[in-house]
Amino acid sequence: MEAWVLLGSFFVLILIGTPVAYAMGIAALIGAWWIEIPLDAVMIAIANGVNKFSLLAIPFFVLAGAIMAEGGMARRLVAFANVLVGFIRGGLSLVNILASTFFGAISGSSMADTASVGTVLIPEMEKKGYPRDFATAVTVSGSVQAILIPPSHNAVIYSLAAGGTVSIAALFIAGVLPGLLLGATLAVLCLWTAKKKNYPKGEVIPMKQALKICADALWGLMTMVIILGGILSGVFTPTESASIAVLWAFFVTMFVYRDYKWAETPKLVHRTVKTLSIVMILIAFAASFGYIMTLMQIPLQITTALTTLSDNRYVILALINLLLLALGTLMDMAPLILILTPILLPVIKSIGVDPVHFGMIMMVNLGIGLITPPVGGVLFVGAAVAKLPMEQVVKALLPFFGALLLVLIAVTYIPALSLWLPGLLL
């Protein structure tokens, strides 16, 4: 009965249009009242939820990504990717995916990736003879890489939702191979489609111009080296590397590229703070919601229920995937990570699945949710950038969903994809 009160009040609040963060906070208060826990305990849990040093990594990474996104970085990464693969048949679709790989390794945000890369490449692909809906589908699906490739904001949120027991550095490194596999799978699909539909080849960039483009992009690409190199060498923690990335992004944007006006900086910071305030409120209220769930022993009950259904880890992982895919279409990624991690972590530990590996499984699942209707935030951004009806974009996305599901199966049932690099480097 206790679980029904907590979860039922949460879903009722969602159905009547209450924002997810406030729905979790109010449901936690209702749950605390029902089990006769002092409301002061809920307030303490809310405060403790955001009183963590590692949380500073999120605002720094978001700010670094915002500076790079608005400072001309996306355009230069597109040009760099064009040098590498633009001359192949269907090359602009590969440029799109590769640019998302590079930009995702800087911004850590699928929405920023779709908006920045899509603004440059969707019109360009249409101009060169690609259908606009295909160009949008490539952009939207390619941006899912940003969730896996470090520095992923959602990996930080997962670590916090796991109670800090999962290393952020391990999650960052674990995302490299799954992210590259996702990009490679989408590239193969694009090459096959380009050959089947005879999409155009690009032109080979002259050597002198190519070297200039590469040199120009190198400044931004150094951000990846700073973030990963600092963490792997032990010089920086993930939080410290995020703050260094902000300083580097600011230096490159304002003093090297000089495409961004100083007068626009306060507006950029204001937009970043506005985004972060929503994230921090969500994390704070999710902490109280998780606290009440733990007191009600909801994670234990769900673990018992799932392990009663089957003792086969592969079957349980398949059931969890189906659950995550279904919920990912109905709710945004961050609240789902915060709600589901405390519930599912005991389940996966009981069947011998590494929490870092499970983090990657969750990221791929919920990443697919970001581009799936009816609540796919990245899908909405892509459709808005392309100025296309969402239904048309979804139809074009169908083959890409197949590719993403293949990646999900590989990441779920081949643990080495997630665990080999962290074991080697950390």
The predicted structure's pLDDT at residue 231: 76
The predicted structure's pLDDT at residue 357: 96
Residue 201 backbone dihedrals phi, psi, to 5 degrees: -85, 155
Number of separate domains in the chain = 1
In three-state secondary structure terms, 152 is coil
Per-residue CA distances from 426 to 35, 160, 161, 349 (Å): 43, 20, 22, 21
Burial class (CB in 10 A: 0-12, 13-18, 19+), 149: buried
- Residue 118 structure tokens: 């899509």
pTM equals 0.86
List the chain residues with pLDDT less than 70: none
Contact yes or no for 171/108 (Cβ under 8 A): no
Per-residue CA distances from 70 to 3, 73, 269 (Å): 45, 7, 12
d(CA 131, CA 364): 27
d(CA 169, CA 387): 38
Structural domain including 48 reads 2-425
